[in-house]
Chain A
Amino acid sequence: MSVTGLALILFLTFHACMNVAALFSADAYNAICGFLGANWYAVAATAALAALVALHFIFAIILTLQNRKARGNNRYAVSTKVNEGKVEWASKNMFVLGLIVCLGLLLHLWGFWYNMMFAELAGCESQISPTDGYGWIVYNFHDRPGACIFAALYIVWLAALWFHLSHGMWSAFQTLGASGKTWLKRVKLISLIWNTIVILMFVVVVVYFALGFGSCGECTSACGDACQQAAECGAAC
């Protein structure tokens, strides 16, 4: 859990940094997309990533089942007072939070990956080119029918991820033994700051595009190709 979890956090951190590029320049963002398109290393990395998520998920199921069994079927009549103030809410709901993250992931794969890497691999035709990542962002968060809902679901997803990591990140270090009397507080603080910054980077991009900055109205010439295609598609829809 801890190793796969930390690897996923590392990936999220890179992904967040890459997304932020979209705030500044469509071309820069698309250059990154091009670099991570349908070439062997990007496909291999995607496969590794899928394996990580699968491992994390499978371990989560095994551990949760083992823990249920260890807990036994007898419930306390007076539900525990221990938890008041001492036990963080997220730590008790990691599996459910993980499931929400999973659903969000499916939405994300459907909205972006299917249209981009998969489309490129399969050679599909679409109005927005599979390599035009910027165009896809504008389409998904602003132009598509129900873009508001799409963006709102993203925010819910990111909130669940924040809660998952608010416990998961320091917990992973603790599990790996990288914690102790003096370091526990530090690890918790560093994790909180890291996690919050990464999630905020994702949120900012979603909000920026959902509110229409980055679409054609605001920036006629700057985004060029990407924007035109998005606009055509928007009109078509």
Chain B
Amino acid sequence: MAKNISFTIKYWKQNGPKDKGHFDTHEMKNIPDDTSFLEMLDILNEELIEEGKEPFVFDHDCREGICGMCSLYINGTPHGKTATGATTCQLYMRRFKDGCTITVEPWRSAAFPVIKDCMVDRSAFDKIIQAGGYTSVRTGQPQDANAILIPKQDADEAMDCATCIGCGACVAACKNGSAMLFISSKVSQLALLPQGKPEAAKRVKAMVARMDELGFGNCTNTRACEAVCPKNETIANIARLNREFLKAKAKD
């Protein structure tokens, strides 16, 4: 049985990267607890518009946990992290208590400047992928499906790494603003497969160089990233990235 809850929402307003920003608050009344967090924000925006106020800006797209667009730092945790790992769009109001205050902030990290309110510019991630997070595919006849055999374990591990949706929660949680969990997942998903091997050394060097250029911080292994990742990526990926990087450098 769904029940309704009422609570105070404290949400971040900011007019651009240079603006100082501030919190606004709004009383939410009788929200069914099977409402999703983003649906709740839609309701908030309708109420704000009715009151003649400016709506609250936040990122979202698929609303089913696969695109990586939703962000939001909810009550001190990116994605309001649940025990099993979920994105903000997969978070439901039943996780909150009647009468509570919910504080919503943007990802705060120098490499992710605020565009407006809680929408931040994560194009730095795209630039890192452009630096090498792909395999160069030559067109022509498709290969026989059995031509390249891949152990099941490797395929599974590569798939686990590939589930990283590039949301940036890892950077948002990191005291060093480091993007290592993201990059290590992207390097790993290719490094683990034979298709990724030919370009492995070039890829890892290019992606790491781009990351440094874009002003992400250095990893000190605090593990805040893996504690918040909605896709449960682990720092074992970071160890692999370091290994791949050292191997590539040693070859030079």
A: residues with CB less than 8 A from B are: 63, 66-67, 69-72, 74-83, 86-88, 91-92, 94, 167, 170-171, 174-181, 183-184
Q: Does B111 contact A (CB under 8 A)?
A: yes
Residues in A with CB closer than 8 Å to B103 are 77-78
Whether B246 is near chain A, meaning CB under 8 Å from some CB there, is yes
Return chain A residues, CB-CB under 8 Å to B174.
Answer: 71
Bound Cα distance from A92 to B108, whole angstroms: 18
CB distance A91 to B242 under 8 Å?
A: no
Chain A residues with Cβ below 8 Å from B78 are 82
A76-B73, A94-B220 known; A71 vs B110 contact (CB < 8 Å):
yes
CB distance from A221 to the nearest CB of B (A): 52
Given A67-B177, A71-B175, A179-B239: A83 and B224 interface contact (C-beta under 8 Å): yes
What are 28 contact pairs spanning A and B, CB under 8 A? A66-B217, A69-B110, A70-B109, A70-B178, A70-B217, A71-B176, A76-B73, A76-B105, A78-B73, A78-B75, A78-B105, A79-B76, A82-B76, A82-B81, A82-B227, A83-B224, A86-B224, A92-B222, A167-B221, A171-B220, A171-B221, A174-B221, A177-B241, A177-B243, A178-B243, A180-B240, A183-B239, A184-B235
- What is the distance, in angstroms, from B4's C-beta to the closest C-beta of chain A? 25
* Chain B residues near A92 (CB-CB < 8 A): 175, 222
Q: Smallest CB–CB gap between B68 and chain A, Å? A: 19
**B85 contacts A by Cβ under 8 Å:** no
Q: In angstroms, how far is the closest chain B Cβ from the Cβ of A70?
A: 3
B246 / chain A contacts, CB cutoff of 8 Å: 176-177
How near does chain A come to B235, taking the closest CB pair, in angstroms?
A: 7
Given contact pairs A91-B221, A176-B242, enumerate 15 new A-B contacts (beta carbons under 8 Å): A63-B218, A63-B220, A66-B218, A67-B175, A70-B109, A71-B174, A74-B108, A78-B75, A82-B76, A82-B78, A88-B223, A91-B220, A167-B221, A177-B243, A180-B239
| B227 x A67 contact (CB < 8 A) | no
- Total number of B residues with any Cβ neighbor in A under 8 Å: 44
- Given A79-B76, A177-B242, A184-B235, A72 contacting B176 (CB threshold 8 A): no
Contact residues of B with A, CB < 8 Å? Answer: 21, 23, 73, 75-78, 81, 103, 105, 108-111, 173-178, 215-224, 227-228, 234-236, 238-246
CA distance A96 to B21 in the complex (A): 31
- Supposing A76-B76, A177-B242 touch, asked if A70 and B111 sit within 8 A by C-beta, the answer is yes
On chain A, the residues within 8 Å of B219 by CB distance are 175
Query: Is A70 a contact partner of B227 (Cβ separation < 8 A)?
Result: no
Contacts of A94 in B (CB 8 A): 220
Contact of A67 with B77 at beta-carbon distance under 8 Å, contacts A72-B108, A77-B105, A92-B222 already known: no
CB-based contact B239/A184 at 8 Å = yes
Q: Which residue of A lies closest to B225 (CB)?
A: A82
In the assembled complex, the CB of B104 is this many whole angstroms from the nearest CB of chain A, namely: 9
Identify B176's interface contact among A67, A77, A183, A184, CB under 8 A.
A67
Q: Are A75 and B108 in contact (CB under 8 A)?
A: yes
Asked if A71 contacts B177 (CB within 8 A), the reply is yes
Taking CB atoms, residues of chain A closer than 8 Å to B217 are: 66-67, 69-71
Please give me the residue from chain B that is nearest to A74 by CB atom: B108
Inter-chain contact A67/B218, CB cutoff 8 Å: yes
Tell whether, in the assembled complex, residue B176 and residue A70 are in contact, meaning their CB atoms are under 8 Å apart.
yes
| A68 → chain B closest CB, angstroms | 8
Q: Which B residue sits closest to A184, measured CB to CB?
A: B236
Q: Which of A69, A76, A87, A179 is the one whose CB lies under 8 Å from B227?
A: A87
Among the listed A69, A87, A179, which residue makes an inter-chain contact with B215, where contact means beta carbons less than 8 Å apart?
Answer: A69
Q: Which residues of A contact B111 (CB under 8 A)?
A: 70
Chain A, residue nearest B114 (CB): A74
